[in-house]
Structure 1
Amino acid sequence: MNGQRIFPGLILIGFGLYFFFQQSAILWIKPYLGWPALLLITGIAFLTEGYKSDGNGILSGTVLTGFGLHFYVIDYLGWWANDTGVFILMIALGFLLQYQKTGSGLFHGILFLMLAAVALFYDTITSWFGLLEEKAFAIWQFWPFILIAAGGYLLFIKKSVGKSSKY
C-alpha cells in the first residue's frame, strides 16, 4: 500500500461514512456524529499513515484522536479530568509514540509528560509541600513565562547552536 494514498483514502472513507450515518435513519449513532467524530477520523487516518510509513503522522494522529476521545468521554466518565493537563498529556503521548516508531521525540515527550503531571496534579503536589505552598503558588504564577522561554529556546537558540556546530 502506497504511503501517499493511506491518509487521503482513509479520510475519504471516514468522512463518507460520517455523512452517510448523518443521513441514515440509524438513531442510536446520531449522538456520536458531532465534530469530535471528525477529529477521531482525521486522527486515526494520521495514525494509520504514521505507523504504515515513516512515522511522521503519529504525533498529529495521537493529538487529534486524543482530543476527539476527550470530548466524547468527558460527558460519560465522571473521573475524567476536564483540564488543560489532559491536552498536554495527549501531546506527550504523541511524542512518546513517535519516539517508539522513529527514535526521535523522547525528550519532548518526557518534557510534556512532566508538564501534564504538574498541570493535572498541582493541588496534590502543593499539598505535599505543606508550608511551601505559598512559595509554590508564587512560582506557579510565572510558569507561562517559563514555557515561553523554553519554546523560544527550542525555536531560536537551539537551532542556531546546531547550525554553528555543523560548520
Structure 2
Amino acid sequence: MKKPPYLLSGMILFGFGIYFLLQYYHFSLFHGFYSWPTLFVIVGIAFLINGYAGKDYPFIFPGVLLTGMGIHFHIAQQLDTTIDISGIFLLLISIGLLLTYVKTGNGLFQGILFLAISLFLLFIDKLKEWMLNNGHSIAWMDQAWPYLLMVFGLYFLFFHKRK
C-alpha cells in the first residue's frame, strides 16, 4: 500500500492552523505556550505520527528530537533555569535512536552510546563533586573527555569494520 505523500505536510499545516487560531482568539488555557518552542512540538508530533501511524520509521528520530527540544525549551522558560543543552540534545538523540531501533532493528549501539555520553554530560558536575569529596584528582576529566570523544569518533569513521 502506498503511503499518502502529503501526510506530514498536512499534519504540520493543520497543527500550525490550530496554534495560530488559539493565539488569535487568546485562548487562555494555553497562554504560556504561544512561543517558538510550541512550533517545534507541533512539527515533532507530526513527524512522530507520520513515523508510527504512517509506518515511515525514519521519521521517528526527527520527531523525538523536535518534540523533545520544544518541551525542553518550554520547561526551561517556565523554570527560568539552565540545563546543559548539549546533554539534553544528546539524550534526545539517544531516545530517538532507541525508539527507531525498536521499529527497525538498527541503531541500538549508537543509542546506548549516546545515552551514556548524555548521562555523563548531564551529571558531570555531580561526578566531579563526588570525586573531590572522596579525595580524587579530577583535573584530567575536564581536559580528557573531549579528546576521548574525538578518538572514538575517528575509530568509528575509519577503523570500525562494517558488516
Q: Above 0.5 in TM-score?
A: yes
Asked if 2 retains the 8 angstrom alpha-carbon contact of 1:95 and 1:105, the reply is: yes
Call closer, same or farther: CA 1:81–1:104 in 2, change over 3 Å. Answer: farther
Q: Is the 8 A contact 1:50 1:56 kept in 2?
A: yes
Q: Is 1:8 the counterpart of 2:9 in the alignment?
A: yes
1:31: which partner in 2? Answer: 32
Q: Say if 1:46 and 1:57, in contact at 8 Å, map to a contact too.
A: yes
* RMSD between superposed Cα atoms in Å: 2.4
Aligned to 2:62: 60
Mapped partners of 1:10, 1:149: distance in 2: 42
In the alignment, structure 1 segments of 5+ residues that lack a partner are none
Tell me, in whole angstroms, the C-alpha distance in 1 between the residues paired with 2:125 and 2:145.
15
Cα drift, residue 86 of structure 1: 1.8
Task: Measure, in 1, the Cα distance between the counterparts of 2:159 and 2:19.
Answer: 44
What is the CA distance between 1:157 and its match in structure 2?
A: 4.3
- 2:20 is aligned to 19
1:28 is displaced (CA, Å) by 4.1
1:82–1:56 CA distance, 2 compared to 1 (3 A): same
2:102 corresponds in structure 1 to 100
Give me the identity figure in percent.
Answer: 39
Separation in 2, partners of 1:25, 1:15: 15
Q: Counterpart of 1:2 in 2: which secondary structure?
A: coil
Classify 1:126/1:3 alpha carbon distance in 2 versus 1 (closer, same or farther; 3 Å).
Answer: farther
Correspondence for 1:133: 137
User: Counterparts of 1:148 and 1:98 in 2: how far apart (Å)?
Assistant: 25
Q: Structure 2, unaligned stretches of length 5 or more?
A: none
The alpha carbon displacement at 1:40 in A equals 0.3
- Name the amino acid aligned to 2:26: A
Stretch of structure 1 that moved more, 149-158 or 68-77: 149-158
Q: Distance in 2 between matches of 1:157 and 1:19?
A: 50
Separation in 2, partners of 1:145, 1:106: 24
Aligned partners of 1:150 and 1:14: how far apart in 2?
40
Post-superposition offset of 1:81: 6.3
The alpha-carbon deviation at position 26 of structure 1 amounts to 2.2
Provide the secondary structure at the position in 2 that maps to 1:4: coil
**C-alpha spacing 1:155/1:5, structure 2 compared with 1 (3 Å):** farther
Q: Is the contact made by 1:11 and 1:41 (CA closer than 8 Å) also made in structure 2?
A: yes
Map Cα deviations across residues 80-129 of structure 1 (whole Å, 9 max, x no partner). Answer: 86113122211111111111111111111111111111111113323444
Would the alpha carbon gap of residues 86 and 121 (structure 1) be closer, same or farther in structure 2, given more than 3 Å must change?
same
SS in 2 for 1:132: coil
TM-score by length of 1: 0.80
Deviations 1:41-90, CA, capped at 9 Å, x for gaps? 11111111111213101111101100000111124458x86113122211
Where does residue 47 of structure 1 map in the other structure?
Answer: 48
Of residues 118, 128, 143 in structure 2, which corresponds to 1:116?
118
Q: Match of 2:153?
A: 151
